[in-house]
Structure 1
Amino acid sequence: MCMSKTSGKYQSYSNSLERQSVIETPGRTMISNGSEVQRSLLARNASRKVTRRDFSEDFVFGTATSAYQHEGAAAAGGRGLSIWDTFTLKTPGKVKDNSNANVSVDTYHRYEEDVKLMKKIGLDAYKFSISWSRVLPGGRLSAGVNKEGIKYYNNLIDTLLAHGIEPYVTLFHWDLPQALEDEYGGFLCPQIIKDFCEFVSLCFWEFGDRVKNWITLNDPWTFCFGGYVMGSFAPGRGSSSAEHVKGSIACHRGTKSHACNGNPGTEPYLVAHNLLLAHAAAVDLYKQTFQQHQEGKIGITLFSKWFEPLHDNELDEEAATRAFDFMLGWFLEPLSSGDYPRSMRKLVGSRLPSFSKEESKLLKGSFDFLGLNYYTATYVKSASNSPDVEVSYTTDPRVTYTSEEVPIGPKAASDWLYIYPQGIYKLLVYVKEVYKVPFIYITENGVDEINDTNHTISEARVDDIRIKYHQDHLLCIRNAIKAGVNVKGYFIWSLFDSFEWNEGYTVRFGIFHVNFKDGHLARFPKFSALWLMNFLSSKLAKGRTKRQIEDSEEHNPVKRLKTG
């Protein structure tokens, strides 16, 4: 860790981490270089196992999915189109294998058997999202409520609870109704705030008597970056979207100084602004109208990588601070202080929207808990923009990301995912130190492998890399808890292999292998599912191997967990 005298957020955190590293290494001589202390600590921890007993009894273990990626049944039960339906239909080349999620894992029809699998593994919770266009096909109440959609989620929630599994429900996981995108540009327009509140109010009313943990937004950063900077996610706007962004969006409320024409230097900031205001309005609605008698909690889930300075110098440390500000701080700073990070105000200037006093007040502290999605990390170094550089969210931070040039860890299947378990520890401590967040869930953590279509089912079930990934990350979470971070839960992404956005079906994240070739979507537990069951269960004998568990007649998870 760098030892310069930078006064920024990263250096403040760095000093804190160095103190903790020394405290956690009793009997060692004080080492002047903090990074050496960390390496020693991590090497010692690598030889130690983590068990369920390392976490409190009320610590929640679950898995996570999302509606568009997993439900399938795109044309069933009165569901309306979402922007992902349109995106995969009209621009199939944006998805690697030209696929879509029209069927995917079909949890819509198979939720009962899927919940039984969760129960057999021993999960405490299941994080899923509600498809806005399945309950409100036209996007708002005046266009009609789809009773079939309401019935489906009621049945899912009731089935989960009947099996002792707590539902954690996300209200928006990127699948905006196409009707609202067509009408006024969706989250580019402030009108979305009113319509979002109608949608969430319906959800609170219909499901809030049983759902006690609500998440307003899942990872708004990826929605903004993929959908409005890179054009690789729905609705496909941004730097690579010229072929299908036709003219300006017809929103005339609150955007008069910013053209909505696919500009990656303006649109992502407008969308993030409206996402934040929609979140704050939804939380206020819940707290004012529903929370007292429903006795639930409401929060938000944010994504962040860990950013490590490439060199031990002040410039790269400051670059790391800016990288955090433009990813995590873009959303967490307004939720903590009521405004965007100072570095964003300085570098983005007039392109960054402003909050009114009333909006800032509504935003500040608008979460009962924070969800963090962590997968990966990267080295960063300082960059300077030339006068002719394109004005864009990607160039505004003045940061160079060096994941390919200098990888921070082993590469997984996806181009963006490098394995660095230490990052989850560092990120948790950073959030606690910088933002004073009192209560955190890890709402997504996982690793993918290439979908090798030549593998047999038996070969595809062997995923030792996934077992090690989760073991190492849980060990680091345990250490963060020991360092004073209040982490209360861990959700694995994902329960099943599924449609992975612009990666399509070319990668697999699930702890269950799904056979997409047999026409039945049969589920097979990977070794990671067996490991998780063993981890969570006190009934299995200590020290038994995967193969011993698998071959046992008394405890045969393959026979017990296989479906289809």
Structure 2
Amino acid sequence: MWLSMISVLAVLAITINAQQQYITTTGPSPRTQCSTAASWSQPNYHFAAFQYSMSETIRVATSVPAPTTTSTYAAPPDSLTSLIPSISYTTWGKWDPNTTASANDTDNPYGNAAWTALWEAANPPNFTEQALYSTTVEPTALPTSELILPPADYFGPTDCYQFPKEFMFGVAGSASQIEGATAEEGKSPSLMDVLVQDDRPKAYVTNENYYLYKQEIERLASMGVKYYSFSLAWTRILPFALPGTPVNQEGLQHYSDLIDFVLAKGMIPTVTLLHFDTPLQFFAGNLTATQEPPLIGYVNGGYQNETFIDAFVNYAQIAMTHYADRVPVWFTFNEPLLYSSDGKSINNVIKAHAQVYHFYKETLGGTGKISIKFNDNFGVPRDPSNPNDVYAADHFNSFQLATFCNPIFLGIDYPDSYKQTVPDYITLTAEDLAYIGGTADYLGIDPYTATVVAPPVPDSIDSILECTTNSSSPYSPYCVNQTLSNPAGWNIGYRSQSYVYITPTYLRLYLSYLYNTFRKPVIITEFGFPVFAEAEKVDLSDQLFDTPRSIYYLSYMSEVLKSIWEDGVEVAGAFAWSFADNWEFGDYDAHFGLQTVNRTTQERRFKKSFFDLVDFVNTRS
């Protein structure tokens, strides 16, 4: 009875906010733009002299102009490093499992022998680096022939909106997915080096961006992209991960050089501190734990380790004191729910994030912005007129988002959906909430797609609540039934390589939900589209002419404009995933890239969607 009463009250509260309905109608689609259709009742057939009247406008992408001013967002590094405990700098070498030479500095706990031992302990499966480069490649200017826009699609956006002046548009990537140079210049192993244990491709080479970053930035700037969003590799800066251990001078300098080159090309860097590649030290020597299924997310990311908060904050402080003068936007974590194992993980992420925010704003005096990126394949009710389905959607979304966003943005407790489901959650005190609340300038979100949600048992809210107390339920931990189709049986979108993609259809609803629920500007930190079976296309011309991706991006950005101008939602920016096909955590077959990558030559080529997306944004900027 108690569960039922709670269910009824929750349904009444949620139903009020339902915003969409299925409307049944018959007949052809209306053409509201054709107000004079009746006057075209009879065509006028006639002969005329024929001539070839074809014409095509050739346009070239507009490069980002060279910077004329320099902006700073904190004091220079020399005056900031005194704010943190004294650090030492050193360098290490390259790990090669086939080498016969051994380091002889065995008395140094952080020497080459100890660093090599990290890789030997990790013993990454099938390790091989068939890399083309071993030093930074100097960039070359792009020929005009590479920057000519493709023929425009017949159908396209018809809006007349403009993006606000401060809107941030750019492209994104992450260290483990693009860098390569996995065991070079002092980088130590991370979760990404041992996570994939079968015969699937690893991240050992990826796109060799570590040595090709200058040419990469040259290409992006030539296309007219203003923002470049990337992540640092924690294990490249702190190979031994923990506070008090030496900083890798080569890794630290690499990211400094990268930031400088981004700025030199007129672009603006945004930095993510942790994008899934947790140092292996947080698995306490038990690397089999990396393969254990977590209770909450998809992967055990090691966040629950008792040393994690202090170590992450120390790493963030080192990065910020060295780069904060030049970086205007920081993200602490990427999609932490997916790599959270239990309640301790969630607690550690939230508290580590808050400490970094306070350090940056108060101790360091940074004037830039700090955020955190979340995932949520937006749950939409299977039947929005059914209060049970609406309740299920709210339960699903609140578990994934409000678990972090309630404390961070609103300074209030975890949602019931989380506390009912995760028995070991850490209680947040009033002091905790006061410290954590308001510690983000944006709500970062990666809204790729949506999922259709209903209770596990149709029309039974109690089936959701019963699932929350049964971790062995096939519906745990979200405790809803997720499907891909609407009540009529149609898939709600196009089947891509990895998801059903319909985000443009529900994006405005989603952005409104985020903005009006958590009361902060929304920044779309990733959005992208892997065309089905693109990896199987043999001819380069077929790979480059990726019209389905163009349709996705242009409809997506059209909905962003409507959200801004028609719904009053403050969308601060959008970063497309990804600027090039890369390692998608286990394979190279899901092509999200705006550029192709030849895995033999590492040559990049712009896809049609890249031109279309940049042209759409720049035309409206």
Mapping for residues 356-371 of structure 1, pairs under 5 Å? 356-371=429-444
Given candidates 295, 314, 317, the residue that maps to 2:387 is 314
Alpha-carbon contact 1:50-1:474 (below 8 Å) kept? no
> TM-score scaled to structure 2, two decimals?
0.69
Given candidates 480, 488, 494, the residue that maps to 2:572 is 488
Task: Give the counterpart letter for 2:318 in structure 1.
Answer: L
Query: Is 1:448 aligned to 2:530, yes or no?
Result: yes
Q: CA deviation at 1:301?
A: 1.1
After superposing on structure 2, the runs of 4+ consecutive aligned residues of structure 1 that deviate more than 6 Å are: 40-48, 385-388
Q: CA deviation at 1:371?
A: 1.1
Task: Give the counterpart letter for 1:297 in structure 2.
Answer: K
Task: Give the counterpart letter for 1:442 in structure 2.
Answer: I
Q: What SS class does the counterpart of residue 380 from structure 1 fall into?
A: strand
For 1:270 and 1:476, the matched residues in 2 are separated by 37
Task: Give the counterpart letter for 1:531 in structure 2.
Answer: D
Q: CA deviation at 1:326?
A: 1.3
Task: Give the counterpart letter for 1:319 in structure 2.
Answer: A
Q: CA deviation at 1:454?
A: 4.7
Q: CA 1:467–1:52 in structure 2 vs 1: closer, same or farther (change >3 Å)?
A: farther
Given candidates 400, 408, 418, the residue that maps to 2:481 is 400
Q: CA deviation at 1:453?
A: 3.8
Query: Is 1:92 aligned to 2:198, yes or no?
Result: yes
Task: Give the counterpart letter for 1:180 in structure 2.
Answer: F
Task: Give the counterpart letter for 2:322 in structure 1.
Answer: E
1:293-325 residue CA offsets vs partner (Å, 9 max, x unmatched): x32111111112221111231111110110111
Task: Give the counterpart letter for 1:429 in structure 2.
Answer: S
Mapping for residues 385-424 of structure 1, pairs under 5 Å? 390-391=471-472, 394-403=475-484, 407-414=491-498, 416-424=499-507
Return 5+ residue gaps in structure 2 as ranges: 1-7, 34-153, 290-301, 457-462
Q: What SS class does the counterpart of residue 193 from structure 1 fall into?
A: helix
Q: CA 1:52–1:156 in structure 2 vs 1: closer, same or farther (change >3 Å)?
A: farther
Given candidates 266, 283, 295, the residue that maps to 2:357 is 283
- Residue in structure 1 matched with residue 373 of structure 2 by the alignment: 301
Q: CA deviation at 1:393?
A: 9.4
- Residue in structure 1 matched with residue 234 of structure 2 by the alignment: 132
For 1:43 and 1:471, the matched residues in 2 are separated by 22
Q: What SS class does the counterpart of residue 508 from structure 1 fall into?
A: coil
> TM-score scaled to structure 1, two decimals?
0.76
- Residue in structure 2 matched with residue 157 of structure 1 by the alignment: 259
1:83-117 residue CA offsets vs partner (Å, 9 max, x unmatched): 110223xx125xxxx11111101111001111111
- Residue in structure 2 matched with residue 478 of structure 1 by the alignment: 561
- Residue in structure 2 matched with residue 377 of structure 1 by the alignment: 450
Alpha-carbon contact 1:374-1:444 (below 8 Å) kept? yes
For 1:44 and 1:467, the matched residues in 2 are separated by 25
- Residue in structure 2 matched with residue 205 of structure 1 by the alignment: 321
For 2:610 and 2:511, the matched residues in 1 are separated by 26
- Residue in structure 2 matched with residue 531 of structure 1 by the alignment: 612
Query: Is 1:69 aligned to 2:168, yes or no?
Result: no
Alpha-carbon contact 1:412-1:419 (below 8 Å) kept? no
Mapping for residues 220-231 of structure 1, pairs under 5 Å? 220-224=336-340
Given candidates 456, 460, 464, the residue that maps to 2:543 is 460
1:260-303 residue CA offsets vs partner (Å, 9 max, x unmatched): xxxxxxx333222211111111112212211x2x3211111111
Q: What SS class does the counterpart of residue 413 from structure 2 fall into?
A: coil
Mapping for residues 40-119 of structure 1, pairs under 5 Å? 49=157, 54-88=162-196, 91-92=197-198, 98-119=200-221
1:330-363 residue CA offsets vs partner (Å, 9 max, x unmatched): 2112212332102322x22633221233222222
Alpha-carbon contact 1:338-1:363 (below 8 Å) kept? no
Alpha-carbon contact 2:172-2:526 (below 8 Å) kept? yes
Return 5+ residue gaps in structure 1 as ranges: 19-32, 225-266, 540-564
Mapping for residues 424-443 of structure 1, pairs under 5 Å? 424-437=507-520, 439-443=521-525
For 2:216 and 2:496, the matched residues in 1 are separated by 27
Q: CA 1:533–1:485 in structure 2 vs 1: closer, same or farther (change >3 Å)?
A: closer
Q: What SS class does the counterpart of residue 61 from structure 1 fall into?
A: strand
Q: CA 1:110–1:493 in structure 2 vs 1: closer, same or farther (change >3 Å)?
A: same
Q: CA deviation at 1:208?
A: 0.5
Q: What SS class does the counterpart of residue 342 from structure 2 fall into?
A: helix
Alpha-carbon contact 1:157-1:210 (below 8 Å) kept? yes
Task: Give the counterpart letter for 1:11 in structure 2.
Answer: T
Q: CA 1:62–1:314 in structure 2 vs 1: closer, same or farther (change >3 Å)?
A: same
For 2:525 and 2:431, the matched residues in 1 are separated by 30
For 2:285 and 2:415, the matched residues in 1 are separated by 32
Q: CA 1:47–1:425 in structure 2 vs 1: closer, same or farther (change >3 Å)?
A: farther
Mapping for residues 239-278 of structure 1, pairs under 5 Å? 267-278=341-352
- Residue in structure 2 matched with residue 175 of structure 1 by the alignment: 277
